[in-house]
């Protein structure tokens, strides 16, 4: 039998989503790109029907998770109260990475019918020193193993901030080097890696796309936070969101941009719906109001839009 490697772009179009099977907990997730940036026409085999799920990042409750009184077990129970479809397990707040602790979280989530939409670690790949890049790769591999133990199918990582004296092309090269190796490792476990467009070099849509094109892996995508892109003279935030949707893995939702400007949430959902996106639209609350009252309000907005634009 001939071993034929499927090109990455054809993989995305044929699959209809960046989807991998969780270990009994994770729902299928990802994005279906109807028109790949480099393709001439949409693939007719890809469903254009969007499917949106209501999620929430543990980071939304950081006020209570950082030093108590909330635990990650409490967060799972809160997800039940909020009627969420899934939760993003921000690893900053794990009590440990011991197998027994992780197995306990997974079992509690199963008993409460709460899938893990993914996990999130703070590893940043913009490292000028080769030794530091090697350390970062090992750290990401560790969190891939944690994600696998949880039964999730997605891990959020960061690109990082530009060091003094470095250039954007250099930083992109460092990220590509690390992400290639990390996605080779995560792919063996069926786990997606999503680079968040967070503070640093990834706050530009074109940079995110260059990283994706150069890594060229079906297990690497963009953990798309709709609020972090910095407008340029040629592309506002909405244009950059649109260009990155074909590579979106998980989506993080706030209702204000970093500069305080309100997000046109309905416009954002229309962009994802038009692209046939399938996946979690997860609240990542950072408002001034107490999370106990602020998060449910943001969740209510997300739920209304998911119901409006989703097929389920």
**CB 283 within 8 Å of CB 87:** no
CA distance 239 to 234: 9
pLDDT of residue 5 exceeding 50? no
What are the φ and ψ backbone dihedral angles of 32, each rounded to 5 degrees?
-105, 110
pLDDT digits 0-9 by tens, 188-230: 999 999 999 999 999 999 999 999 999 999 999 999 999 999 9
Overall domain count for the chain: 1
Specify the pLDDT at position 48: 81
Domain hosting 70: range is: 8-309
CA distance 60 to 285: 4
pLDDT digits 0-9 by tens, 270-295: 999 999 999 999 999 999 999 999 99
Supply the mean pLDDT for the chain: 88
Residue 2 lies inside a defined structural domain of this protein: no
Residue 37 lies inside a defined structural domain of this protein: yes
Residue 22: which of 137, 108, 138, 119 has the closest Cα? 119
pLDDT band at 11 (very low <50, low <70, confident <90, very high): very low
CA distance 184 to 73: 31
Percent of the chain predicted with pLDDT > 70: 85
Residue 91, domain CATH: 3.20.20.150
Residue 152 lies inside a defined structural domain of this protein: yes
pLDDT of residue 239 exceeding 70? yes
pLDDT band at 178 (very low <50, low <70, confident <90, very high): very high
Specify the pLDDT at position 2: 40
Residue 181 lies inside a defined structural domain of this protein: yes
Specify the pLDDT at position 311: 76
Phi-psi region of 163 (alpha: psi -120 to 50; beta: other; left: phi over 0): beta
Kind and range of the H or E run holding 185: helix 168-187
Residue 45 lies inside a defined structural domain of this protein: yes
Specify the pLDDT at position 21: 32
pLDDT digits 0-9 by tens, 36-88: 333 333 445 456 899 999 999 999 999 999 999 999 999 999 999 999 999 99
Is residue 290 classed exposed, middle or buried when 0-12, 13-18 and 19+ CB atoms within 10 A define those classes? exposed
32-36 CB contacts, 8 Å cutoff, 24+ apart: 32/275, 32/276, 32/277, 32/278, 33/245, 33/246, 33/247, 33/275, 33/276, 34/274, 34/275, 34/276, 35/246, 36/9, 36/12, 36/246
Residue 271 lies inside a defined structural domain of this protein: yes
Residue 16 lies inside a defined structural domain of this protein: yes
pLDDT band at 312 (very low <50, low <70, confident <90, very high): low
Contacts of 96 (CB under 8 A, 6+ apart): none
Instruction: Give the Å distances, CA to CA, from 76 to 85, 114, 292.
Output: 11, 7, 14
CA distance 132 to 125: 9
Residue 1 lies inside a defined structural domain of this protein: no
pLDDT digits 0-9 by tens, 99-119: 999 999 999 999 999 999 999
């Amino acid at each position: 039998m001939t071993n034929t490697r499927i090109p990455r772009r054809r993989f995305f179009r044929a699959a209809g989503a960046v989807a991998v099977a969780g270990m009994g907990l994770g729902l299928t997730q990802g994005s279906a790109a109807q028109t790949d940036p480099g393709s001439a026409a949409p693939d007719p085999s890809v469903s254009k029907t969007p499917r949106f799920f209501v999620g929430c990042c543990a980071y939304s409750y950081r006020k209570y998770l950082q030093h108590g009184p909330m635990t990650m077990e409490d967060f799972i129970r809160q997800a039940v109260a909020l009627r969420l479809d899934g939760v993003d397990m921000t690893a900053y707040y794990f009590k440990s990475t011991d197998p027994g602790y992780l197995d306990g979280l997974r079992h509690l989530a199963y008993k409460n019918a709460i899938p893990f939409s993914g996990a999130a670690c703070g590893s940043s790949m913009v490292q000028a020193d080769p030794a530091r890049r090697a350390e970062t790769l090992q750290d990401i591999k560790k969190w891939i193993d944690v994600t696998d133990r949880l039964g999730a199918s997605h891990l959020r990582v960061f690109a990082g901030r530009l060091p003094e004296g470095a250039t954007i092309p250099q930083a992109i090269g460092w990220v590509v080097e690390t992400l290639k190796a990390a996605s080779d490792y995560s792919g063996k476990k069926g786990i997606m890696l999503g680079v968040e467009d967070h503070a640093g070099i990834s706050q530009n849509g074109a940079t995110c796309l260059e990283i994706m094109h150069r890594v060229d892996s079906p297990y690497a995508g963009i953990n798309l936070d709709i609020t972090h892109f910095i407008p340029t003279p040629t592309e506002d935030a909405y244009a950059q969101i649109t260009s990155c949707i074909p590579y979106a893995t998980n989506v993080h939702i706030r209702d204000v941009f970093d500069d305080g400007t309100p997000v046109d949430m309905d416009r954002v959902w229309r962009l994802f719906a038009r692209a046939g996106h399938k996946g979690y639209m997860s609240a990542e609350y950072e408002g001034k109001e107490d999370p106990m009252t602020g998060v449910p309000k943001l969740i209510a907005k997300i739920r209304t839009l998911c119901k409006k634009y989703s097929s389920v």
